[in-house]
Amino acid sequence: MQVLYGRHHVRVFRFGLRLVRDEQIAEDLISEVFLDVWRQAGKFEGRSAVSTWLLAITRFKALSALRRRKDVELDDEAANAIEDDSDDPEVTAQKKDTSQALRKCLSVLSPEHREIVDLVYYHEKSVEEVAEIVGIPENTVKTRLFYARKKLAELLKAAGVERGWP
C-alpha cells in the first residue's frame, strides 16, 4: 500500500483538488480513496490501469464531497460568473502573457470541462480510459473535450488572446 500510495498520491491529490478546489478536502479525499482501495483490492480485476481505477474512485469521492458542500459546486453559469467577476485573464492578457492567461482560463472552466481536460492532458488518459473514469460513452468523451476546448478558446478570446483557433 505504501508503494501504491507513494506512486499515485500526488496525482490523485491534484485531480481531487482541481475538482473540489479545497486543499483540506482534497487531502481528506486521498485518505478516503486509498482506504477504499485497501478495502476493495479484491474487487480490482485488472482490466484497467491502476491509475484509471484510482482516478475513477477519486472522482466519485470528489463529487460526493461536492454534493455535501453544495455551495462550492460549480456549473457553467457559475464558471461564467467567475469569469465576469474576475478580470484576471484580461489583466494577464494585457501583460501579453498567453501562458498565464491560459492557466487562468483553465481554472475557470466548468467542473465537467476541467476534469476532462485534466484527464486527457495531465493524466494522459486515452478516450477509453476517460470514458471508464467519467462513466460516459467514448463519443461523448470526444465531443465533451472538443467543447471544453472551444469554451477555453472563447474565454481566451474574451481575454484578448487570439491563438488562430477556432
- Residues near other proteins (CB under 8 A): 1, 5, 9-10, 13-14, 17-18, 23, 26-28, 30-31, 34-35, 38-39, 41-42, 44, 46, 98-99, 102-103, 106-107, 117-118, 120-122, 124-127, 142-143, 145-146, 149-150, 152-153, 163-166
Query: How far apart are the C-alpha atoms of 153 and 166, rounded to whole Å?
Result: 7
Least gap, CB of 92 to other proteins (angstroms): 12
Whether 18 contacts 114, CB under 8 Å: yes
Name the amino acid, one letter, at 164: G
Least gap, CB of 108 to other proteins (angstroms): 12
Query: How far apart are the C-alpha atoms of 11 and 30, rounded to whole Å?
Result: 10
Ordered alpha helix ranges (H), 41-137: 50-68, 76-85, 88-94, 98-107, 111-117, 127-134
134, HSE (Cβ side, Cα atoms, 13 Å): 28
Name the amino acid, one letter, at 3: V
163, HSE (Cβ side, Cα atoms, 13 Å): 18
Least gap, CB of 33 to other proteins (angstroms): 9
The length of the chain, given as a count of residues: 166
Element (H, E) at 20: helix 2-20
